[in-house]
Amino acid sequence: KRFKIAVIPGDGIGNEVTAEGIKVLDAFAAYKGNIGFDYEFFPWGCEYYLKTGNMMEEDGLKTLEKFDAILLGAVGDPSVPDHISLHGLLIKIRQGFNQSINLRPVKLLPGAPCPLKDKKPEDIDFVVIRENVEGEYSGVGGIRFPDRPEETAIQTSVFTRKNTEKIMDYAFKLAQKRNKFNKVTNVTKSNALNYSMVFWDKIFQEVAGNYEEITTETTHVDAVSMYFIQKPEAYDVLVASNLFGDIITDLGAALQGGLGFAASGNLNIEKEYPSMFEPVHGSAPDIKDKGIANPMAMIWTAKMMLDFLLEDSDTEAIIKAITEVLVEGKTLTPDLKGNAKTSEVGDAVCEKLKSI
Ligand code: NAI
Ligand code: MG
């Protein structure tokens, strides 16, 4: 089977790491033998915005609709305000295609540098389900009396029963499937957010009722941040709102060796629209054009895309290949104290894949 992939390399290191993701996808197709990918590239991002006034084509969603999946590098450049680049492309696609589940695994691979010195790879292995189309990032609000002394900013969170139930249900199903501790942690802040998060907790409890065999726990997001450092081994599946999920997954990335390892999928689980796969990191303007970005997050992201497209295929070979490169320690980028180039790491992973 051949899959049609829309590729949006985006800005900064987005371009650099995307090339390596594609390299590994093609190496995996060769390894499997019976699949292939047809890519179409879209030059959308900040440069496109500076030329056209839009981050993507105006009917870009229509164009993307016919693809099996979207692979995105990262967007953002110091020349464009970040809220414009984020809402003009990323959030537009996530919301427009109802990619309501943001799946973010946090897993320490052997050889990856964990800042917690007493933790081993088996201690750090959990998944955050981040709500991805509403909540704090709904984009509802406004400015009253701009530039006057009374100036007031309003940003409203939106939580619908339908979507919240869906997120919770996905988290419970994932805990069943992982079969690790059969546990779901509800990340909340219902002590302070007395409407939205109280509602969120209520839906969590309701859905939990359908999964008697799954243990539940409800923890405030500030405490979760502390426990990630103190006892990351306690976690299995966590479910969090858009904002909280965003924040705790950068912390999760640090636990697994940095943003160079954090992968994610924006899933439309109904499969009525394409899903989008992107590393958690941004465009990293501080290291762009140097060819030194770590492509492992993007390679892992490509693996997540394969999992979604192929469903039952053994894509673990890709993680094994990354792990072998890590453990060998010869071909690592500067964030891992090596001096390899981005493309050399991609080549090394492809080479390992051949011998697995
Ligand atoms: P960032 O993730 O781009 O960078 C944070 C730090 O991590 C930097 O020091 C960077 O060099 C390092 N880093 C990130 N990825 C790396 C990799 N693969 N290899 C080695 N080092 C890596 O986050 P920051 O600085 O907050 O944002 C930069 C721009 O990216 C902004 O315009 C922001 O809006 C945008 N952004 C875009 C995202 C996306 O497209 N999904 C997500 C996060 C930020
Ligand atoms: Mg983020």
Residues 199 and 303 in one domain: no
What is the pTM assigned to this prediction? 0.96
Residues 58 and 159 in one domain: no
Residues 203 and 246 in one domain: yes
Residue nearest to atom 37 of ligand 1 (CA): 282
| Tokens matching residue 231 | 């006892």
Residues 47 and 100 in one domain: yes
| Number of domains within the chain | 2
Residues 65 and 136 in one domain: no
Does any domain span residue 146? yes
Does any domain span residue 109? no
Residues 146 and 221 in one domain: yes
131 C-alpha vs ligand 2 centroid, how far in Å? 13
For the complex shown, is ipTM > 0.90? yes
Residues 88 and 120 in one domain: no
- The verdict on the CB of residue 278 being under 6 Å from ligand 1 is yes
36 C-alpha vs ligand 2 centroid, how far in Å? 31
1 C-alpha vs ligand 1 centroid, how far in Å? 34
Residues 127 and 249 in one domain: yes
Mutational pocket test of ligand 1: of 281, 341, 345, 349, the residue with most ligand atoms within 8 Å of the beta carbon: 281
Does any domain span residue 211? yes
Residue 66 makes CB contacts below 8 A (sequence gap 6+) with 4
- The verdict on the CB of residue 282 being under 6 Å from ligand 1 is yes
Domain harbouring 37, CATH code? 3.40.718.10
Does any domain span residue 10? yes
Does any domain span residue 6? yes
- The verdict on the CB of residue 294 being under 6 Å from ligand 1 is yes
pLDDT in tens, 102-114: 999 999 999 999 9
Residues 215 and 272 in one domain: no
Residues 321 and 347 in one domain: yes
Does any domain span residue 110? no
At which of 221, 255, 289 does a domain end? 255
Buried b (16+ CB within 10 A) or exposed e, 332-344: bbebbebebbbeb
Residues 138 and 45 in one domain: no
- Tens-digit pLDDT string for the chain (356 aa): 999 999 999 999 999 999 999 999 999 999 888 899 999 999 999 999 999 999 999 999 999 999 999 999 999 999 999 999 999 999 999 999 999 999 999 999 999 999 999 999 999 999 999 999 999 999 999 999 999 999 999 999 999 999 999 999 999 999 999 999 999 999 999 999 999 999 999 999 999 999 999 999 999 999 999 999 999 999 999 999 999 999 999 999 999 999 999 999 999 999 999 999 999 999 999 999 999 999 999 999 999 999 999 987 789 999 999 999 999 999 999 999 999 999 999 999 999 999 98
Q: Are strands 183-188 and 215-220 parallel, antiparallel or unpaired?
A: parallel
Does any domain span residue 305? yes
At which of 232, 255, 278 does a domain end? 255
Mutational pocket test of ligand 1: of 259, 299, 336, the residue with most ligand atoms within 8 Å of the beta carbon: 259
- The verdict on the CB of residue 89 being under 6 Å from ligand 1 is no
Task: Starting at the earlier edge strand, list the strands of the sheet with 101-107.
Answer: 36-41, 2-10, 69-74, 275-279, 263-267, 101-107, 125-131, 237-240, 183-188, 215-220
136 C-alpha vs ligand 2 centroid, how far in Å? 13
- The verdict on the CB of residue 75 being under 6 Å from ligand 1 is yes
243 C-alpha vs ligand 2 centroid, how far in Å? 9
* Enclosing domain of residue 134: 115-255
Q: Would you state the torsion angle of the CA atoms of residues 196, 202, 203, 207, taken in this order, to the nearest 10 degrees?
A: 160
pLDDT in tens, 264-285: 999 999 999 999 999 999 999 9
Residues 278 and 247 in one domain: no
- Ligand 1 atom nearest residue 278's Cα: 41
Does any domain span residue 48? yes
Residue nearest to atom 31 of ligand 1 (CA): 76
- The verdict on the CB of residue 245 being under 6 Å from ligand 1 is no
158 C-alpha vs ligand 2 centroid, how far in Å? 19
3-state secondary structure the chain: CEEEEEEEEECCHHHHHHHHHHHHHHHHHHHHCCCEEEEEECCCCHHHHHHHCCCCCCCHHHHHCCCCEEEEEECCCCCCCHHHHHHHHHHHHHHHCCCCEEEEEEECCCCCCCCCCCCCHHHCEEEEEEECCCEEEEEEEEEECCCCCCCEEEEEEECCHHHHHHHHHHHHHHHHHHCCCCEEEEEECCCCCCCHHHHHHHHHHHHHCCCCCCEEEEEEHHHHHHHHHHCHHHCCEEEECHHHHHHHHHHHHHHCCCHHHCEEEEECCCCCCCEEEEECCCCCHHHCCCCCCCCHHHHHHHHHHHHHHHCCCCCHHHHHHHHHHHHHCCCCCHHHCCCCCHHHHHHHHHHHHHCC
At which of 231, 255, 279 does a domain end? 255
Rg (CA), the chain: 20
